């Protein structure tokens, strides 16, 4: 195992940054085409929401398996690593098969999912989208295999290169599927699934060559293994509970809205959900390398190094998370109007609330990872009970008079409460008092945040409000300019932040 992974982090961030730019371009290019027919876009959003369940089909064993496989890698035990990966993917395969059957059934009766399908064409679109999901569900297995193999080696950037090529093809395909006089959303979705399947096969071939990876042992290990089951089941069942909690908290919005409020309300909410998903992608990029590194430290039993590393991550990423969220929240009206038009004016407050859900992600993401790495299962149970309970209880009491907005409000409330609890756990683990934690983490951002808020409130009155690609680019460049200014101020006003950046550059 390497002593330092700084170079790997930078490579991961470089290729993920390219991928992020492509995802952003995809939002700019694809979403305006899809939203041109709100009802069909709502149907599409519901179907896509169901596809997200595939990420949770392993019942928590993938997360537990990756932790223990990373520890085996840190110890140099490659055969045990492969056996753990094989077993966890066996669990995944079983439930992917069940999901595939379920999607096939729903494709025959799409009205079960979406309220208010009013024409045969809408019915056919929903049916065909779900059938495509049923056929390509096994692709998830290939994707998770590659994620585990490259992830535990901190070489995700290799996988990212292949995915970037696929993403370019997906974006370009919009020009064909949504050309003048054509709105082929089914063809577009099918093309995406084919590209995902081919990309996964190519990436696994690269792993075979680069690591001389024993795929014969891997595929023979995709079976039940009692010893691995006994090792992983405790954390896996905790992860399963977390999975159920996250499904209840993150993934059921569109489905519930589509069932009870209709496809048009799904379209309104999906604009905010798209922005939230974009931020979640960014957060996954930022923090996923460190999750694996936490497991490396636990594997070699170096708790002091883990604490130092943990505090560095929280303090370094605080402004990186907070600054963009503040900007998007204040300038959300310009973003929505220039991106999807005035028909989606109801989406503005939803965008603001959903974006604010990640305001304290620099604390919640690494702290959750520490709890998993340290196997603090009781604490994980409590946090992941709190989130869905607050979320759905709030909706149940307010949806009748707040409508779709209640989903956004209580998503934020639930997140804020959990963030406070995780912050408390963080300072206890690091043995900091409240004042010390504020001084180390929050105070260095104070002056840049004040400048940032003032500039955003000033420029929002001058930004365009009409839908067009040019206007959207103006808003995007304005946001980029404000963020650059705030990060420059942060660099020169925070000596600790400056030193962390210089250290990262020096160690690359």
The C-alpha atoms of residue 101 and residue 95 are separated, in whole angstroms, by 10
End-to-end CA distance of the chain: 17
State residue 422's pLDDT score: 92
Tell me the pLDDT tens digit for each residue of 117-161. Answer: 666 777 788 888 888 888 888 888 888 888 888 878 777 778 888
**What span, in angstroms and rounded, lies between the C-alpha atoms of 97 and 83?**
21
Give per-residue pLDDT as tens, 22-58: 766 766 666 676 666 666 777 777 767 666 667 666 6
Which residues of the chain register pLDDT less than 50?
1-3, 508
Angle between helices 263-299 and 361-373 (to 10 degrees): 50
Q: Calculate the CA 101 to chain-centre distance.
A: 26
Residue 84: the pLDDT is 86
Tokens of 29: 């290019």
Q: What is the CA radius of gyration of the chain?
A: 23
Q: Give the integer Cα–Cα distance in Å for 283 and 290.
A: 11
Report which of 308, 325, 320 is spatially closest to residue 444, judged by C-alpha positions: 320
Q: What pLDDT is stored for residue 58 in this prediction?
A: 64
Could you give the count of Cα atoms lying within 13 Å of 209 in the half-sphere of its Cβ? 7
Quote the distance between the C-alpha of residue 453 and its chain's center.
Answer: 26
pLDDT of residue 257: 83
Buried b (16+ CB within 10 A) or exposed e, 226-255: eebeebbeebbbbbbbbbebbeebbbbbbb
What does the domain layout of the chain look like in residue ranges?
A: 262-508
Pick from 210, 404, 432: nearest CA to 307: 432
Run of H or E including 1: none
Tokens read off for 425: 């756990």
Tell me the C-alpha distance between 361 and 282, whole Å.
11
Sole residue written with tokens 């392993």: 58
Count CA atoms closer than 13 A to 218's CA, side-chain side: 19
Per DSSP, helices labelled H in 178-302 are 185-210, 215-220, 226-246, 253-260, 263-299
Instruction: Label each residue of 358-372 as H, E or C.
Output: CCCHHHHHHHHHHHH
pTM of the model: 0.68
CB environment 32-50: b (16+ within 10 A), e (fewer): bbbbebbbbbbbbbbbbbb
Res 300: pLDDT: 65
pLDDT, tens only, 171-216:
788 778 877 777 778 888 899 889 989 998 998 899 888 888 888 8
Distance in angstroms (rounded) separating the CA atoms of residues 129 and 480: 36
- Spatial separation of the C-alpha atoms in residues 155 and 162, rounded to whole Å: 13
Q: If you ran DSSP here, which 8-state letter would residue 250 be given?
A: I
492 close to 498: Cβ distance less than 8 angstroms = yes
CA torsion through residues 227, 233, 239, 240, sign: positive
**CB–CB of 430/304 below 8 Å?**
no
Q: Which of 35, 347, 341, 337 is nearest to 174 (CA)?
A: 35
Q: Tell me whether residue 140 is exposed, middle or buried, using C-beta atoms within 10 angstroms of its C-beta: 0 to 12, 13 to 18, 19 or more.
A: buried
Distances (CA, A) of 114 to 49, 262, 265, 346, 502: 12, 7, 11, 21, 52
Phi, psi for 114 (deg, rounded to 5): -120, 120
Q: What is the pLDDT of residue 33?
A: 67
> Is 162 within 8 Å of 202 (Cβ atoms)?
yes
User: Residue written as tokens 């470089």?
Assistant: 14
């Amino acid at each position: 195992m390497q002593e330092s992974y700084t170079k790997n982090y930078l490579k991961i961030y470089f290729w993920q940054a390219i991928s992020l730019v492509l995802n952003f371009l995809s939002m700019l290019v694809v979403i305006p085409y899809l939203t041109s027919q709100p009802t069909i876009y709502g149907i599409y959003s519901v179907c896509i929401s169901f596809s997200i369940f595939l990420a949770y089909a392993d019942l928590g064993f993938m997360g537990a398996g990756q932790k223990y496989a990373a520890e085996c890698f840190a110890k140099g035990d490659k055969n045990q690593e492969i056996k753990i990966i094989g077993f966890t993917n066996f669990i995944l395969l079983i439930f992917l098969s069940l999901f595939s059957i379920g999607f096939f059934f729903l494709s025959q009766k799409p009205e079960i999912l979406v309220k208010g399908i009013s024409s045969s064409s809408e019915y056919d679109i929903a049916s065909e989208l779900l059938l495509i999901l049923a056929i390509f569900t096994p692709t998830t297995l290939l994707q998770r295999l590659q994620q585990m193999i490259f992830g535990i080696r901190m070489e995700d950037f290799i996988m990212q290169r292949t995915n970037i090529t696929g993403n370019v093809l997906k974006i370009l395909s919009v020009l064909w599927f949504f050309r003048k006089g054509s709105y082929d959303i089914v063809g577009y979705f099918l093309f995406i699934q084919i590209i995902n399947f081919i990309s996964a096969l190519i990436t696994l071939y690269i792993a075979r060559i680069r690591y001389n990876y024993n795929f014969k042992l891997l595929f023979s290990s995709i079976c039940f293994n009692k010893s691995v089951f006994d090792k992983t089941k405790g954390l896996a069942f905790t992860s399963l509970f977390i999975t159920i909690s996250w499904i209840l908290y993150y993934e059921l919005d569109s489905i519930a809205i589509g069932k009870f409020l209709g496809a048009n309300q799904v379209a309104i909410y999906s604009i905010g959900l798209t922005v939230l998903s974009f931020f979640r992608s960014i957060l996954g990029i930022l923090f996923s390398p460190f999750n694996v590194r936490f497991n490396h430290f636990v594997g070699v039993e170096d708790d002091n190094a883990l604490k130092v590393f943990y505090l560095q991550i929280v303090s370094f990423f605080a402004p990186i998370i907070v600054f963009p969220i503040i900007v998007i929240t204040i300038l959300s009206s310009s973003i929505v109007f220039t991106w999807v038009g005035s028909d989606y004016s109801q989406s503005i407050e939803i965008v603001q609330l959903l974006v604010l859900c990640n305001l304290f992600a620099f604390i919640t993401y690494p702290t959750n990872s520490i709890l998993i790495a340290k196997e603090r299962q009781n604490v994980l149970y409590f946090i992941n009970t709190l989130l869905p309970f607050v979320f759905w209880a709030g909706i149940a009491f307010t949806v009748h008079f707040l409508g779709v907005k209640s989903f956004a409000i209580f998503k934020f409330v639930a997140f804020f409460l959990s963030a406070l609890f995780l912050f408390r756990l963080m300072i206890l683990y690091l043995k900091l008092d409240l004042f010390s934690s504020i001084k180390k983490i929050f105070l260095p951002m104070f002056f840049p945040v004040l400048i940032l808020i003032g500039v955003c409130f000033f420029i929002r009155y001058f930004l365009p409000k009409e839908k067009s690609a040019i206007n959207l680019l103006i808003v995007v460049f304005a946001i980029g300019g404000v963020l650059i200014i705030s990060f420059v101020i942060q660099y020169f006003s925070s000596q600790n932040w400056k030193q962390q950046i210089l250290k990262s550059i020096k160690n690359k």
